[in-house]
Structure 1
Amino acid sequence: MHEGIRGIETVFLLLLLFVVIFGDLARRLKVAYPIVLVIAGLLVSFVPGLPKISLNPEIIFLVILPPLLFHAAWETSWRDFRYNIASILLLAFGLIGFTVLGMALAGERLFSLLYWRTGFVLGAIVAPTDAIAATSIAKRVGLPQQITDILEGESLVNDATGLLALEFGVAMVVSGVTPSFGAGALRLLYLIVAGIGIGVVVGWVVHWFELHIDDGPIEMTLGLVAAYGAYIAAEEAHASGVLAVVACGLYLSRKSTEYFSPGVRLQAYALWNAIDFVLNGVVFLLIGLQLPFVLAGLHSYSKLTLLAYAAGVSTLVIALRLLWIYPGAYLAYYIRRRFLKQTEPIASAKQIFVTGWTGMRGVVSLAAALSIPETMANGQPFPSRNLIIFLTFSVILVTLVLQGLTLPPLVRALGLGSVGGPDGEEVEARRLMLESALTYIQEARERDQPEFEEMYEDFAEHHQDRLTALLSHSDNNADMTQYARQREVAFELLKIQRKTLVDLRNTGRISDTVLRRLERELDLSETK
């Protein structure tokens, strides 16, 4: 028992160490960390003597997936999600169905080692895109915000559709019975409605508790309870755990302004960012480390056959997305104009192509492949199971590495990169915030006692300077030289005060407790 625990500790420590090393390498190379970590895991898997770490699908679905989905939903703008709902659903449902059927037909006609049912299973596994891989890469290369919003929404929803298709595909292979279209539609409807309903109920309960608590550690623990609680409750009800977590995350994110104090909010963002990075880092590293296990059951296939199938299936997956993306975009435009009364202009051909090129797959696909049962109802081995796992692994590698690495030059070549100009909504929000503050200062000055006049004058002058700099930038589109210099000097002043605090602590004039208390005030000032 002691040796087993020590082995787990060693493996966990190695994983964290690799995540830190290769995560820092990704930052230095200015490459999205999922790409670097997958490649690193692949290379590390060849190192002799290192422990072989297998990926348990139950751990992925029950332990790692809920907090990752919850944080991704929390970071998603509900307004933008709702505004782009037509485009998102056509990708999350339409594209999933198109990919599954395309792979089923290809399994029958193009790939002799698969038939249409196992092709259906493979299509269901590789159809959903990865929430973290696509958006982290898209944000790094500066894609237009609407494309990023659509990719985020798609990857949050399509896991549920893909896992339902996998459920049907496995049932068809194991039992030999093909479910009817009506049964499939009813099952999908139940997954969606029950999953979203359970997620909102869990969110409402957690929100009620949050309103009566003002304690950072407890509130952040409640966030984890919400993520896992929504997922487990939905799975127990045979609904979509994925949609339950997404709905819960979106609901609590909208409500968080009501119950998070400023200090707790800073703690929560720091904690969730750390959890997100560690879990994603471990997951993408584990994908690369699975190569020995993926190859273990493929001795009966020649290397040339495996390479040809890997290249063929990966190309087909990419091609199916590109084939769907253009008519899907035009259909979404029609729905938005005709039924949703949106005046959104149709996306350019370049934007549509880039949206199609960002279909990266991730750990959900690999975990889904590993969750395929080893035997059928009659006791026979599940047909082509090892081949399906290998092809899934190949699709993940190709879409992450090939598409991920080629996306930045492609975006630059098409002229779609962000120009880095001012965000109109942000400028407007800053202006209204400052004007509201100035109005309050003037009203409070008139009500208060005369001896506080100088204090109000200082406040008014400070906020008026910021407003003047902001309006100058907004109206004339000129460089905010004065405002930038003001911020620079303010940070230098904070740095001087921080150094003074440390010197006082080092000479014994103040305690570490006083240091931390005053240092926190400076940190909060620096984040404003």
Structure 2
Amino acid sequence: MDYYSIASILVVLSAIFGYINVRFLKLPITIGLMIITLLFTLVVIVIAQFDDTLLLQEKAFITSIDFETVLLDIMLSFLLFAGALHTNFNQLRIQRWPILVFATFGVLISTFLVGGIMYYVLSWLGLEIAFIYCLLFGALISPTDPIAVLGILKKAGAPKKLETKIVGESLFNDGVGVVVFLTIFAIAAKPNAAIEVSEIATLFLQEVVGGIGLGLILGWITYKLMKSIDNYEVEVILTLAAVMGGTMVAHQFHLSAPLAMVTAGLFVGNDTVRNSVMSETTELYVDKFWELIDVLLNTILFVMIGMEMLVLSLERNFIYAGLLAIPLLLICRYLSLWLPIKFFAKRLDFVPKTTLIMTWGGLRGGISIALALSLTSEMHRELFLVITYLVVIVSIIGQGLTVEPIIKRITKKYKPD
């Protein structure tokens, strides 16, 4: 199937499911689309008991989509830029140190905690998996998803300090998580080769520092170009060019495109640049354009996630491992956040029970599934894909539907900032 046909089918399904959600379910778009797509897929499976034509066609359609490439190499840059563009920069600057620690040390601690615990859990289930592959799973499942959580937090009316911590952490830990995953992947792919610590450090620094550096350059160039003109059509196109051209440059020089896009989005979206560069008309069109891009790609992404169920190997032990992983991942996330929050709580005004809220509000999403899809068969791809899928489904639907009342209940006595 050609790319145009694939894109057309996804957009049509997204539009239909999005309409059903808005008209009847009235749930946050990520949750609503996930539920509707899963129900649609289950209906197809039931129909297949009598006539498997539709099921075979849907399976062929799903397998024709390179989910990993579509999300990691294309969609992620647009989604992260859009998310960063609308993030409160002043609050982000105030909360920069805890966010930095959450997105770096938090991800690393979570990676090793999850990897170590899953190694013993899988062994207990009779699945002998090498520790390095369990560590790979820890790396791919540790990043939280800003795409899934942002709309839910806004609807919940979370205090700005809390919203900034969760969204800021999610924006940056995606990039860091991908880099950690790629680093461990490089080690796992050559188990018998001697890999120097200096090589690992170089790869990590090149991706992280290089990605942030590229983002600053892109943001500065876009700022200068927008400042020299007053034409909202061209200025919107300049922001689009920054994302598309910047992503190509990042891939060419092996830099972190997610970190580059987050940095560029924060640069262009901060109040100083907005007030000195954008007219009211330009600001309105830039914001609306990227909101539309965000919604469109979100709908397509979560329709794709829901349909991925058809290509999973649902073996009994795989399902048991996934169900056990869900509470264990929450415990690991809580532990990875506890020490940094304890440390910074003495310096910054934290919302009560921030650790609990950030644990429950740290939803997993499409990035984890895309990374799981990039595993090789030797790395037990099918096993970790099933575990990841179950974690993501429960995270988005279970945690997503309950995080709003939890936030409201815990923060109702907290004075808004």
- Category of TM-score, reference length = shorter chain: 0.7 to 0.9
Q: 2:120 aligned to 85, 100, 109, which one? A: 109
Distance in structure 1 (CA, Å) of the matches to 2:73 and 2:312: 22
Question: For 1:265, which of 276, 283, 301 is the aligned residue?
Answer: 283
User: 1:288 and 1:9, CA in 2 relative to 1: closer, same or farther beyond 3 A?
Assistant: closer
The separation in 1 between residues aligned to 2:17 and 2:240, in whole angstroms, is 22
Residues 105 and 119, structure 1, Cα contact 8 Å, conserved in 2: yes
Q: Are 1:144 and 2:162 matched, yes or no?
A: no
Q: Contact 2:17–2:36 (CA<8 Å) still a contact in 1?
A: no
After superposition, give the CA deviation of every residue in 1:300-343 in whole Å (9 maximum; x if it has no partner): x3x2x232111111221111011222222012235xx3xxxxxx
Q: Does 1:8 align with 2:6?
A: yes
2:295 is paired with a residue of what secondary structure? helix
1:253 aligns with 2:269: yes
Change (3 A) 1:178 1:391: farther
Distance 1:289 1:150, change over 3 A: same
Cα offset, 1:175, TM superposition: 0.8
Equivalent of residue 260 in structure 2, options 244, 248, 262: 244
Specify which of 307, 332, 337 is matched with residue 320 of structure 1: 332
The count of residues paired between Structure 1 and Structure 2 equals 395
2:122 is paired with a residue of what secondary structure? coil
| Aligned mate of 2:219, from 188, 197, 203 | 203
The residue aligned with 1:65 is: 76
Letter of the structure 1 residue corresponding to residue 58 of structure 2: P
**Kindly tell me: are residues 13 and 146 of structure 1, through their superposed partners in 2, closer, same or farther at Cα, counting changes over 3 Å?**
closer
TM-score between the two structures when normalised by the length of structure 2: 0.87
Identify if the C-alpha distance between structure 1 residues 346 and 215 changes in structure 2 by more than 3 Å, giving closer, same or farther. closer
How many percent of aligned residue pairs carry the same amino acid? 26
* 1:180 CA drift (Å): 5.0
Kindly indicate whether the alpha-carbon contact (under 8 Å) linking 1:168 and 1:179 is maintained by their aligned counterparts in 2: no
* Preserved contact between residue 183 and residue 203 of structure 2 (Cα < 8 Å): no
Measure how far apart 1:30 and its partner are: 4.7
Q: Is the 8 A contact 2:118 2:134 kept in 1?
A: yes
- Assess, with a 3 A threshold, how the Cα gap between structure 1 residues 180 and 85 changes in structure 2: closer, same or farther: farther
Are the structure 2 counterparts of residues 252 and 160 from structure 1 closer, same or farther at C-alpha, using a change threshold of 3 Å?
same
2:293 aligns with one of 275, 288, 309: 275
Local SS of the residue matching 1:61? helix
Which residue does 2:48 correspond to in 1?
Answer: none
Partner of 1:401: 397
Q: Who is 2:95 aligned against?
A: 84
1:71-470 aligned within 5 A: 71-112=82-123, 113=127, 114-176=129-191, 177=193, 179-254=195-270, 255-295=273-313, 298=314, 301=315, 303=316, 305-334=317-346, 337=347, 344-348=348-352, 350-372=353-375, 374=376, 381-414=377-410, 416-417=411-412
Q: Distance in 2 between matches of 1:20 and 1:359?
A: 24
- Could you say which residue in structure 2 is the equivalent of 1:505? none
Question: For residues 306 and 312 of structure 1, what CA distance do their matches in structure 2 show?
Answer: 10
Contact 2:11–2:300 (8 Å) recurs in 1: no
Measure the CA separation in 2 of the matches of 1:148 and 1:9.
33
Q: Is the 8 A contact 1:41 1:289 kept in 2?
A: yes
1:151-173 CA deviation, whole Å, 9 max, x = no partner? 11101110122112211222222
Distance 1:184 1:332, change over 3 A: farther
Contact 2:77 2:261 in 1 (8 A): yes
C-alpha separation in 2, matches of 1:331 and 1:5: 50
2 CA distance for matches of 1:39 and 1:354?
A: 23
Partner Cα distance (1:290, 1:331) in 2: 41
Q: Is contact 1:330-1:346 (8 Å) kept? A: no
**Cα drift, residue 147 of structure 1:** 0.8
The TM-score, its normalising length taken from structure 1, stands at 0.70
Say if 2:91 and 2:160, in contact at 8 Å, map to a contact too.
Answer: no
Unaligned runs of 5+ in 1: 338-343, 375-380, 425-528
Quote how far apart the aligned CAs of 1:106 are: 2.1
Partner letter of residue 257 of structure 1? Answer: N
Tell me: CA distance 1:408–1:30, structure 2 relative to 1, closer, same or farther (3 Å).
farther
| CA deviation profile, 1:212-231 (whole Å, cap 9, x unmatched) | 33322222111111112222
Q: CA RMSD in A?
A: 2.4
Deviation by residue 1:262-300 (Cα, 9 ceiling, x = unmatched) = 2222222222211111111111121111101123xx5xx
Structure with greater contact order relative to length (CA < 8 Å, sep ≥ 6): 2
Q: Deviations over 1:387-428 (max 9, x none)?
A: 1111111111111111111212323443x1498x9x88xxxx
The answer as to 2:32 corresponding to 1:36 is yes
Does the 8 A contact of 1:195 with 1:243 survive in 2? Answer: yes
Structure 2, gaps ≥5 residues long? 45-53
Distance 1:133 1:192, change over 3 A: same
